[in-house]
A and B are shown apart, each in its own frame.
Chain A
Amino acid sequence: MRALFSSLRDGKGFDISLIAIAMVFLILFSGAPLVYNAIMSFQEVDIFNLGTFIRPWVGLDNYRSLFADPSTLPIFWNTVVFVFSSIAGQFIVGFGLALFFTLKFPGAAYLRGLFLVSWVMPGLVVGAIWNWILSGDFGILNHFLKSVGFISENIFWRSDINYSLWAVIIANIWLGTAFNMILLSVGLAAIPRDVYEAAELDGATAIQRFRTITLPMMRATIGAVVSLGLIFTLQQFDLFAAITSGGPANSSNVAQYKAWEMSFREYDFARGATISVLMIVVVMIASVIYVRSTKQEVRG
């Protein structure tokens, strides 16, 4: 008994118990639900057997019926458009801002800090604000676009099936830009000043320096930002709930929102779980890329 206590105090037992606490937490709250979710996607689940673990095994039936549903493929396509457009927008604007804030001008640090506001706000609040901005009749975005002459008629961003998905994408780009900017700023700051000076003396123009020094040396950071962006974008739920609720006619519906609708609106937990499993696969691939890109950091 005493040996056990002393080992816990300053021996191997201490190390193991530290790890064990984290592991138990992970398995209990992340691992088990994940496995439970995967199992559920192979079962027949209805409102009557929801409280039990042992349910009829149906193999791939849930997957088959999911893809047989004509609304599924458009929703997956929407997800692809949403993810790629959001990441592209967030990355380009974020990188631009990060480069801008490497210039030393008075107030640069404060101004950059201000961009973090988008990070502090809950998604539902962001959604509510963008509802006003995007509003067809009195929205400031329409007013702006009309004033500069890009459009002549009001666009009903949230209720027009051609624009509804883009309404959420615009809001999501705004939401994710600050995160991209901060991570990319850190990456930029890690590139030594004198490497740029050496390149400048070697005859490189600003564009050549960006292409041959900045981009290659930022590869690890860019990989991390993009794969984290993928994960965050696939998690984005609040904005859909707040802005379009996936409508009209599923025109702005995406996999993560659909999974919630299936499970908690239609109580079709099996198919909700099926969509989640497919998303887990995508996120896992992104995670592997993320872990690899942070491993291969090149620093002189």
Chain B
Amino acid sequence: MSDVTQIELSNINKHYGSFHALKDINLSIPKGQFVALVGPSGCGKSTLLRSIAGLESISSGSMSIAGEVVNNLPPRKRDVAMVFQSYALYPHMTVLNNLTYSLRIKGANMKQANKAAEKIAKTIGLSDLLSRYPRELSGGQRQRVAMGRAIIRDPKAFLFDEPLSNLDASLRVHMRKEIRALHDRLGATSVYVTHDQIEAMTMADHVVVLCEGEIVQQGSPLDLYDTPANKFVAGFIGSPAMNFVDGVICEDGKSVQLNFDHPQKIALNRKLPAGQKVEAGMRPEHLTISNNAANLSAKIAMTEATGPITYYTTDTTPELTLIQQGRGTVSTGDEIGLTIKPEHIYLFDKDTGLVL
């Protein structure tokens, strides 16, 4: 990774009629970085990606790729490659012709184009499939062809639009690694759109969280995990998700009353104005089950054992999700105590959702 900026977005806005799809997007992507755009459906992440590709126009702002302003360039002149969710292979062409399409369009001679395609096919494991048509391929193979078609052009950036969402779970995990490995080998600059935060966390160097057309936070995956800027990011990143409980800061300002069906008080490591309404967030792995000197008490309502990890749900309202490594030490119906370190309690403003 170098310091050279490959893609620079400044103050990008996009309106569809009265709908404000992208709001003041500022994003700078260094050459060689793998950036994930993540957010719930309708957050604008695909629109942003398609704007970079030039398939959508932007209403205002400036966009440059490798130092060149591309606002008014059509997609074919932007020199970026895109892998579509549906793969968008050319159904009437063989795998070989799918791979060589971009070269043939530019007037490269057939022999060289085919040679290049064979080389690419070897690196991504398509050599035996070159004469097949897309309809004769499995989902995973189509995915590879789509990637090969992007790689062969040696573009300035790779754009991925939820490329793994049509694959089954085990293949998805496998392709995740393969795409990341390919990115590293090519030294490429990649922008990857996904609604799956696990994909974003595991693949990307830099994660951009979008919500309702706005960037709510960006940073390295673990930064977002450890220091979420607001309740949305805290709840979106992490699986199982963070537990949230409504609360009020107590008279002393150094503890918070959590409004379970039976309110419980818990100490904080900082001082906040008494009476402030908050939402407290606690990650499942930070809640430890212990019977002595517990901060909270609850009863196990449900146990889900997966082997390496056991998940519990408490009978409190709102309920809490807990995890334990290995086989569980408690079981459904048990009364338990929970401890959590004060520094692991996240507090969010009840009205704005911002971290306190």
Task: Kindly provide the distance from the CB of B98 to the nearest chain A CB, expressed in whole angstroms.
Answer: 9
Complex interface residues of chain B between 111 and 168 (CB less than 8 A to chain A): 133-135, 149, 153
* CA of A212 to CA of B91, assembled, Å: 11
CB distance from A217 to the nearest CB of B (A): 5
Interface 9-residue window, one of B15-23, B101-109, B174-182: B101-109
Given known pairs A198-B84, A200-B55, A300-B134, the reply for A205 and B76 (CB within 8 Å) is yes
**CB pair B55 A197 closer than 8 Å:** yes
Specify which chain B residues have a CB less than 8 angstroms from the CB of A299 in the assembled complex: 91, 135
Residues of A within 8 A of B149 (CB): 198, 202
Contact A212 B101 (CB under 8 A): yes
Which B residues are CB-close (under 8 A) to A203? Answer: 76, 102, 105-106, 153
Of all chain B residues, which has the CB nearest A193? Answer: B88
The size class of the interface chain B forms with chain A is 20 to 34
A202 touches B80 (CB 8 A): no
Report how many residues on chain A are interfacial, defined by Cβ distance under 8 Å. Answer: 21
B76 touches A202 (CB 8 A): yes
Given contacts A200-B74, A203-B105, contact A213 B82 (CB under 8 A): no
A216 and B92 within 8 A (CB): yes
Name the B residues within 8 Å of A198 (CB-CB): 82, 84, 88-90, 149
In the complex, A217→B92 CA distance in Å?
6
Q: Knowing A202-B102, A212-B101, say if A197 contacts B76 (CB, 8 Å).
A: no
The CA-CA distance from A192 to B54 in the complex, in Å, is: 18
Of residues 70 through 101 on chain B, the ones whose CB sits less than 8 Å from some CB of chain A are 74-76, 78, 80-82, 84, 86, 88-92, 101
Interchain CA distance A216-B82 in the complex, whole Å:
23
Contact assessment for B82 and A201 in the assembled complex, using a CB-CB cutoff below 8 Å: yes
B53 near A: Cβ within 8 Å?
A: yes
Q: What does the 1/0 interface line of A42-61 toward B look like (CB < 8 Å)?
A: 00000000000000000000
Within 8 A of B (CB), among A125-146: none
Q: With a CB–CB cut-off of 8 A, which chain A residues contact B75?
A: 197, 200-201
Q: How far is the CA of A194 from the CA of B87 in the complex (A)?
A: 8
* Complex: chain B residue closest to A300, CB-CB: B91
Which residues of the partner chain A approach B106 to less than 8 Å between Cβ atoms?
203
- Interchain CB contact under 8 A, A300 and B89: yes
Q: From residue 29 to 79 of chain B, which have CB atoms closer than 8 A to chain A? A: 53-55, 74-76, 78
Q: Hey, which bits of chain A sit against chain B, CB under 8 A?
A: 192, 194-195, 197-205, 208, 212-213, 216-217, 219, 298-300
Q: Which residues of B are interface residues toward A (Cβ below 8 A)?
A: 53-55, 74-76, 78, 80-82, 84, 86, 88-92, 101-102, 105-106, 133-135, 149, 153
